[in-house]
Amino acid sequence: MSIISKNIQKAIALLTNEQLVAIPTETVYGLAGNIYSEKAIKSIFSTKKRPFFNPLIVHIHSVNSLVDIVTDIPEKAKLLANAFWPGSMTLVLKKNNTIPDIITAGKDTVAVRVPNHPLTLKLLKQLPFPLAAPSANPFGSISPTKPTHVESYFKNDIQMVLDGGSCKNGIESTIIGFENNEPIIYRLGALDLEDIEAVVGKISIKNKEEISPDAPGMLARHYAPTTRTFLVDDVSSEVKNHQGKKIGILVFKKSLNNETITEIILSEKGSLKEAASKLYDSLHELDHQKLDVIITEKFPNNGLGTSINDRLQRATFSL
């Protein structure tokens, strides 16, 4: 029997009973549990095979409940929260002492966001506790953007995926931390950098080497298909290096017009937003076709193209 269901009452009962439920968000599906239940949180880590040093994001239903989770909110954090929540932004702030150490991997900061999905907002409003939810995939694998992706990963491990359809942004939230009360990007994501800068001014991106102990979502190899996958400037010339192989290609907008190749075009009209929303689903699809190799192309390095390139670099062997 399928674990995919729209029954929100069942989700409430399971979560109240310290069980896990995969929940829809506008970015990717999350594997959710009560932040105050040690049992639930431990089972998030064991189900995902996620190392305990990698902290979780706390999901709340409104900007107003932020004060239950954190202390010392910088002025620019307030501006960002009011501008982007509910939405695809996670803030890393000084934690309140009621937040269990297992959520934050012992850090004195906690990651928090208000997701923008009607079903999950409804769920959060009805629960007397916030939900910790990492992306609902085994550690290092491609993140899920459809209920079926979660089901194929975890049908033997969890009892329910709350069915909220396909995730409309399709790429994880942008994570923003603070140093001396100034915001700094920890992880590129579903928000456009220009939109963030319109609210708080010029913002820098913490470099990968510095960030990796803090945000393992920034690990060099992450979000990866099981099929050998390459990221190149020119897909058509790379295809020539794999003669006689079963090849899958993932391109931005232009077809290679090669009948012998399995091809997915992310956005024929050249929309980066549309491409981001289809990125993981397309990688899942190619990964399930028993191909010998997947070849993807670099995106224009502006707006969401930068976030897409970040994920593709981690998902692939760059040439």
Q: Is 28 in the site for ligand TXA (CB under 6 A)?
A: yes
Query: Residue written as tokens 């899942």?
Result: 284
Per-residue string for binding with Mg ion, 185-224, x by CB under 5 A?
----------------------------------------
Coil, strand or helix: which one is 169? coil
Q: Give the closest residue to 284 by CA, choosing from 19, 23, 64, 28.
A: 28
User: From the list ligand TXA, Mg ion, none, which binds 176 (C-beta under 5 to 8 Å, kind-based)?
Assistant: none
Encoding tokens for residue 220? 């060099």
The entry of ligand TXA, Mg ion, none that residue 30 binds, CB within 5 to 8 Å by partner kind:
ligand TXA
Interaction of residue 307 with Mg ion, rule CB under 5 A: no
Binding to ligand TXA by residue 133, rule CB under 6 A? yes
Is there a contact between 297 and 250 (Cβ–Cβ < 8 Å)? yes
174 binds, among Mg ion, ligand TXA, none (CB under 5 to 8 A by kind): none
Cα separation of 189 and 303, whole Å? Answer: 10
Distances 46 to 31, 143, 148, 154 between C-alpha atoms, Å: 12, 17, 21, 12
Subset of 52-111 contacting ligand TXA (CB under 6 A): 54-57, 90, 92, 104, 107, 109-111
Q: Which residue has the tokens 């290609």?
A: 249
Distance, CA of 104 to CA of 95 (rounded, Å): 9
87 vs 248 by CB, closer to ligand TXA: 87
Beta-carbon neighbour count of residue 76 at 10 Å?
Answer: 18
Under the rule (CB under 5 A), what is the footprint of Mg ion? Answer: 135
Q: Which residues bind ligand TXA (CB under 6 A)?
A: 25, 27-28, 30, 54-57, 90, 92, 104, 107, 109-111, 115, 133-135, 172-173, 175, 186, 214-217
